[in-house]
Amino acid sequence: MCFDDPCSDNHQHNKLVLCPQCDMLVALPDLMEGNKAVCPRCDTLLTAKWKEPRNQPTGYAISALLMLFLACLFPFISMNVAGIVSEIKLTEIPKVMFNDDYSSIGAFFLIFVQFIPTFCMVSIIFLCQNIKMARRLKIELARILFQMKTWCMAEIFLAGILVSFVKLMAYGDIELGLSFLPYCLFCIFQVRAFQCLDRYWIWNDIEPAPTIGQTKTRQALQAGKPGLVQGVRLCLCCTAILPAQEHQCSRCHTKGHARRHFSLQLTMALLITSAILYIPANILPIMVTQSLGNHINSTILEGIILLWSTGSYPVALVIFIASIMVPLLKMLAIIWLCWDAKKHGKYHSETMHFIYELVEFVGRWSMIDVFVIAVLSALVRMGQFMSIYPATGAVLFASVVILTMFASMTFDPRLTWDKANKKFELQNSEEL
């Protein structure tokens, strides 16, 4: 797609997007309401045209905040063991962790389950309703919102609650409090709010993307060719297309490069650290059960074996996959991605991209075991009769999950496509 005059250039440039995953320059069609545009090379979602793009995310975000408020008011879960009743509210879970000198787990709960989801919902309301604020503040709000999206783990905590029910049923009767249903609705509404929020639309609503004209050193942009080949790069924050040599985005002022600097080095450093912590995280106990004066230490593997022996095969399998297999396979997958990007391996870019997307999707679900421990530790507090406490292994395991998440975030997926981009460079040189 070539540009002939400045007016046409501005109009057409607004219809061009760079894929954040494979760096392909794509010409956006005029989307009908309810349709979406995906990259033809890697199937990454580029933009979607939602009905009422302002009101839909706002409605879901307001509903989510209302449900979260209700979930914090009333009892969440109660447990009855031999006539002894223990009851907790959602807000009491981190308090128990702080009181037991396990402030790290309490902080994980506050940040990932309460603070970040709440902040994101409030940010969606402010941005979508175009509430009057300084332009710089609006840009910072949008930047933080999309960076924090990955760290919203309310639905993972909900899955952890369901798993903890299976473990607790062996000891006594479990009853759901008035807050449980509002919290379930909160999880649904906050996920839906993110789904209806289009990143491409919200940034163009804040400020139109900068335009790039044809210069002596760069030909007119053409859809269907990688951005790096054409001398342009993507702003990973606001999706603007920028000259490759321009290191600061003129729209959101985020600094960046055509490829993340030291991407492989940072990824491997985080990966090595997580691998070192992975061993003690699985050897040391993650939970201590005190019952009638006896202390029973439980590792992740021992908990899985206990669930399996009691006939809870599906739950045992879920915990085994999420807590044992996923962190290990994720580390191996990231090593493979780094090796392929560094050595330009023989595997197809499509295959490596699928592995990367899989790593991105499943990585944070390993936190489910940490949230199970948080629920059990907060609820099972019955003195010498029965009490459950977190242990050092839980903190180490949470650190492994967080480090592997950072490792996948620092890895630049466009590196896996650069070997394919060389074909475009060869074709261009032959044409010249």
Count, in order, helices (H) and strands (E) of the chain: 17, 12
* Least reliable range by pLDDT among 220-229, 234-243, 384-393: 384-393
> pLDDT tens across 74-100, in order?
999 888 877 778 888 898 888 888 887
Q: What is the predicted pLDDT for the residue at 83?
A: 74
* Least reliable range by pLDDT among 307-311, 358-362, 381-385: 381-385
Look up residue 166 and give its two tokens.
Answer: 């299976």
Mean pLDDT (the chain, rounded): 84
The model's pTM is: 0.84
- Give the best-scoring range by mean pLDDT among 8-22, 62-76, 86-100: 62-76
Task: Count the Cβ atoms, other than its own, within 10 Å of residue 413.
Answer: 26
Comparing 292 with 362, the larger pLDDT belongs to 362
> pLDDT tens across 271-303, in order?
999 999 999 998 888 888 777 667 777 888 887
> pLDDT tens across 181-212, in order?
999 999 999 999 999 999 999 999 888 888 77
* Least reliable range by pLDDT among 14-18, 246-250, 427-431: 427-431
What does the alpha-carbon distance between residue 123 and residue 133 come to, in Å, rounded to a whole number? Answer: 12
* Least reliable range by pLDDT among 19-28, 45-54, 101-110, 195-204: 101-110
Q: Which residues pair with 294 in a beta bridge?
A: 291
Residue 101 — φ and ψ, nearest 5°? 65, 25
What does the alpha-carbon distance between residue 288 and residue 387 come to, in Å, rounded to a whole number? Answer: 8
In 3D space, the residue among 362, 364, 388 whose CA is nearest the CA of residue 377 turns out to be 388
What does the alpha-carbon distance between residue 137 and residue 297 come to, in Å, rounded to a whole number? Answer: 49
> pLDDT tens across 134-176, in order?
888 899 999 999 999 889 999 999 988 888 887 777 677 888 8
